[in-house]
Amino acid sequence: MRVAWRASLEMGPLAEEFNVGVVGAGYVGLVTGACLAYVGHRVTCVDKDEGRVAELKEGRMPIYEPGLEDLVVQNSRRGRLSFSTDIAGTVHEADVLFVAVDTPQGDDGSADLSSVAAVARSIGRALAERPGAGRAQRERPLVVVNKSTVPVGSGDYVSMLIQEGASESSSGNGAVDYRVVSSPEFLREGSAVYDSFFPNRIVLGADKRDALDTMRALYEPFIEQTFPTQVDPRPKVAVPFVTTDLASAEMIKYAANAFLATKISFINEIATICELVGADVSSVAHGIGLDDRIGSRFLSAGIGWGGSCFPKDVAALRSIAREYDHEPVLLDASVAVNERQRKRVVSKLQRDLHTLKGKRVALLGLAFKPNTDDLREAPSLEIARALDQRGARAVGYDPVAGKKAAGLLPNLRVVFDPYEALSGAHAAVVVTEWEEIRTLDLQRIAALMESPKLLVDGRNAYDPRAVRDSGLLYRGFGRE
Ligand X SMILES: NC(=O)c1ccc[n+]([C@@H]2O[C@H](COP(=O)([O-])OP(=O)(O)OC[C@H]3O[C@@H](n4cnc5c(N)ncnc54)[C@H](O)[C@@H]3O)[C@@H](O)[C@H]2O)c1
- Quickly count: other Cβ atoms within 10 Å of residue 421's Cβ: 25
Using rule CB under 6 A, residue 28 touches ligand X: yes
* CA 305/CA 293 separation, integer angstroms: 22
Three-state secondary structure call for residue 158: helix
Q: Which of residues 86-105 bind ligand X (CB under 6 A)?
A: 100-103
Among 3, 4, 11, 118, the residue binding ligand X under the rule CB under 6 A is 118
- Residue 259 burial class via C-beta count within 10 angstroms: exposed 0-12, middle 13-18, buried 19 and up: exposed
* Window 241-270: residues binding ligand X (CB under 6 A): none
Cβ atoms 412, 375 nearer than 8 A? no
- CB nearer ligand X, residue 118 or residue 446: 118
Q: DSSP labels for 232-248?
A: --SPP-PPPEEEE-HHH
Q: Known catalytic residue: 309? A: yes
Task: For residue 199, give every residue at least 6 positions away whose Cβ sits within 8 Å of its Cβ, in sequence order, or none.
Answer: 186, 187, 222, 239
Comparing C-alpha atoms, which of 278, 308, 274 is closest to residue 288?
274
Stretch that binds ligand X, among 112-120, 219-227, 316-324, 345-353 (CB under 6 A): 112-120
- DSSP assignment letter at 111: B
Site string for ligand X, 121-160 (x = CB under 6 A): --------------------------xxx-----------
Among 41, 52, 369, 393, binds ligand X (CB under 6 A): 52
CB 479 within 8 A of CB 270: no
Among 309, 317, 345, 356, binds ligand X (CB under 6 A): 309
308 touches ligand X (CB under 6 A): yes
Quick check: 183 binds ligand X (CB under 6 A)? no
Give min distance, CB of 92 to ligand X, in A: 16
Of the pair 50, 292, the CB lying nearest ligand X is at 50
Stretch that binds ligand X, among 26-34, 89-97, 212-220, 324-332 (CB under 6 A): 26-34
363 to 123, 426, 452, 476: CA distances (angstroms): 44, 11, 16, 15
Q: Tell me if residue 88 falls in helix, strand or coil.
A: helix
Q: Is 371 in the site for ligand X (CB under 6 A)?
A: no
CB of 465 to ligand X, least distance (A): 35
Residue 35: DSSP 8-state: H
Identity of the residue, 157 or 419, whose beta carbon is nearer to ligand X in the bound complex:
157
Count the alpha carbons within 13 Å of 209 in the hemisphere toward its beta carbon.
0
Rule CB under 6 A: say whether 165 interacts with ligand X.
no
> Should residue 84 be labelled a site residue for ligand X when binding is judged by CB under 6 A?
no
The residue with its CB nearest to ligand X is 26
CB of 268: closest distance to ligand X in angstroms?
A: 21
Looking at the chain, the number of H-run helices and the number of E-run strands are 18, 14
Stretch near ligand X under the rule CB under 6 A, chosen from 43-51, 221-229, 357-365, 430-438: 43-51
Which of the residues are catalytic?
Answer: 309
The contact set with ligand X (CB under 6 A) reads 23-29, 46-49, 52, 100-103, 115, 118-119, 147-149, 185, 187, 189, 308-309
